[in-house]
Amino acid sequence: MNSEQFKSQMASALSDVPEHFHNRVEMTLETIVDQEEAMKESTKKAIKTAGRFSFRTAVIAFALILALGAAAVAAVRWRLFDQLSFMTGPGTPQNADSLMQGNLYQETVNDVEITVREAGYDGRTLFLQYSYRMLDVDTPFGVTAREAYGDRLPQGMDPDSIVTEGLREDALDLLDAHHVGWWIDSLWINGKAMGMSDNSGGMESGSAVPGEIIVTEYWRLDNAGFTMNGPTQISLPIGETQPLSDYGRKNHPEKYDENGLLKLPEKGVVTFTYDAKDILSQVKTLRPNVETKLREGTVRVSEAAFTPLMTYITLDMQVSPEALEAYIQENGEGHQDEAGNLLFPYSGMDVFAEWIMAAELVDGNGNLVFPGHFGQNGYGSEWAEFLYPYLETLPAEMYLAPIVNGQADMTRAVAVKPVNR
């Protein structure tokens, strides 16, 4: 049996597996062949003839595929997505294996084990999950099911079991006592600083592991003008905390670059390499810019980006003076404090709010593309953003339309993907 026949039979015997698993098997087979070539040269015995695997190679390869194939059939569960289901949908997204990487860094600082557990980038968002494990703490920071759910305890759940949705109140104070943790508001991409941009966020949780805090973050690199391509160095200020007085711009201008951005500190940071590969080439971007006149003003989708992980829709809005004046006449001048003092006047954000909060992604027939998933992800006076999970196949037409009494009002729909786009 030659190599191509062998690969063909293996392909027909096994179902599709993730790309990273396929590449791993290919690399291992190549290593085996290289070893046999070396043995042939050293022993002058024809262990491998031209274009053919020896019996030994076939046996090893078959055993390897059976052993690793069992693990590949069960898809990798990337735990980061357990915390981000409100963005990416329930479970692990189907393409997660193609862009997620795990166990990227570990070191112990002041008796705290710091681990970068998972990282991924879909061309728009950097997803991170890392953990602190205090080695001198022998109790878990995860709260009990009784504490987390109260009267809503799921049927059959042990009320004393540890769940990861919560974090014990003293956990962060204990971490701070170790002089470890996030100490300045920046991260660095290939040594260049960025702050947490619009529509970024994060959360902290405990676990059943004693002394462990798990941090999950999502950084919208696109909103800060950053992209990643190929092997990329990512630096996080999550090591030993540094005195902020050493990083004041007035007293330490040498620590800032010509753009006023903080240079990568020499202490207190964790740096690891994430390979973004050619992810940017896998992002499909539409810019329909079909202006729609609503009673509130004009709206258009300036960009709809479809990545291997997510769907991003950005709207530009312009409130009409007449609609704003009518809103002020009905509701008053603007937002006020408890004493009745004006905090800030009403704007397009207020006028468009009802439409924005009711809008969802629908196809050309008004059917919800993601039933049960609320896509609104923030808005201002002149913009709004909607996030949805991955779309394998794009409908012929897509719109953002307000859902009224369970039905899409297509008379107030804004084009996301016009027909033939």
The pLDDT tens digits for 272-324 are: 999 999 999 999 999 999 999 999 999 999 999 999 999 999 999 999 999 99
147-181 burial code (b ≥16 CB/10 A, e <16): ebbeeeeeeeeeeeebbbebbbeebeebbeebebb
pLDDT given for residue 374 in this prediction: 94
Q: Please say whether the beta carbons of 134 and 178 come within 8 A.
A: yes
Which pLDDT score is estimated for 15?
A: 43
pLDDT band at 262 (very low <50, low <70, confident <90, very high): very high
**CB–CB of 397/419 below 8 Å?**
yes
CATH 2.60.40, applies to 283-417: yes
- For residues 348-377, average pLDDT: 96
Average pLDDT over every residue of 150-168: 76
Of the pLDDT bands very low, low, confident and very high (cuts 50, 70, 90), residue 155 is: confident
Tell whether the torsion through CA atoms of 235, 236, 238 and 243 is positive or negative.
Answer: positive
Q: Is the pLDDT of residue 169 over 50?
A: yes
The confidence score (pLDDT) of residue 37 equals 47
Q: What pLDDT was estimated at residue 60? A: 46
pLDDT value at residue 421: 62
Using the predicted structure, report yes or no on whether residue 349 has a pLDDT greater than 50. yes
Mean pLDDT, the chain, rounded, equals 84
pLDDT (0 to 100) of residue 160? 74
Give the pTM.
Answer: 0.77
Say whether pLDDT at 139 is over 60: yes
Phi and psi at residue 67, in whole multiples of 5°?
-70, -50
- Which residues partner with 180 through β-bridges? 240
As a whole number, mean pLDDT of residues 155-159 equals 78
Q: Please give the Cα distance from 217 to 350 (Å, whole number).
A: 29
- Residue 91's pLDDT is 86
Q: What tokens does 297 get?
A: 């003003």
> 144 falls in which pLDDT band (50, 70, 90)?
confident
Hey, where are the domains in the chain?
Answer: 3-73, 80-279, 283-417
What is the predicted pLDDT for the residue at 164? Answer: 63
**Residue 365, amino acid:** N
* β strands within 327-406, DSSP E: 334-336, 342-345, 359-363, 376-379, 383-389, 398-404
- Average pLDDT of the segment spanning 176-181: 98
Residue 5 has pLDDT above 50, yes or no: no
Residue 397, pLDDT score: 96
Are 84 and 127 in contact, with CB atoms under 8 Å apart? yes
pLDDT at residue number 145: 75
* Interatomic CA distance for residues 68 and 82, integer angstroms: 25
Q: What are phi and psi of 269, to 5 degrees?
A: -115, 155
- The pLDDT tens digits for 37-86 are 444 443 333 333 333 344 444 444 445 444 444 444 335 679 899 889 88
Helix, strand, or coil here: 83? helix
Q: Which residue has the higher pLDDT, 35 or 82?
A: 82
Strand ranges (DSSP E) for 324-380? Answer: 334-336, 342-345, 359-363, 376-379
Q: Is the pLDDT of residue 117 over 50?
A: yes
Q: Which secondary structure element, helix H or strand E, spans residue 322, and what is its range?
A: helix 321-331
Q: Does 26 have pLDDT greater than 70?
A: no
Predicted pLDDT at 165: 66
CA–CA separation, 96 and 103 (whole Å):
15
Mean predicted confidence (pLDDT) in 215-229: 95
Confidence of residue 111 (pLDDT cuts 50, 70, 90): very high
In angstroms, the CA 253 to CA 261 distance is 10
pLDDT over threshold 70, residue 22: no
339 vs 106, higher pLDDT = 106
pLDDT for 201 equals: 92
CA distances from 6 to 46, 61, 135 (A): 19, 10, 49
User: Within the chain, what is the greatest distance between any pair of CA atoms?
Assistant: 95
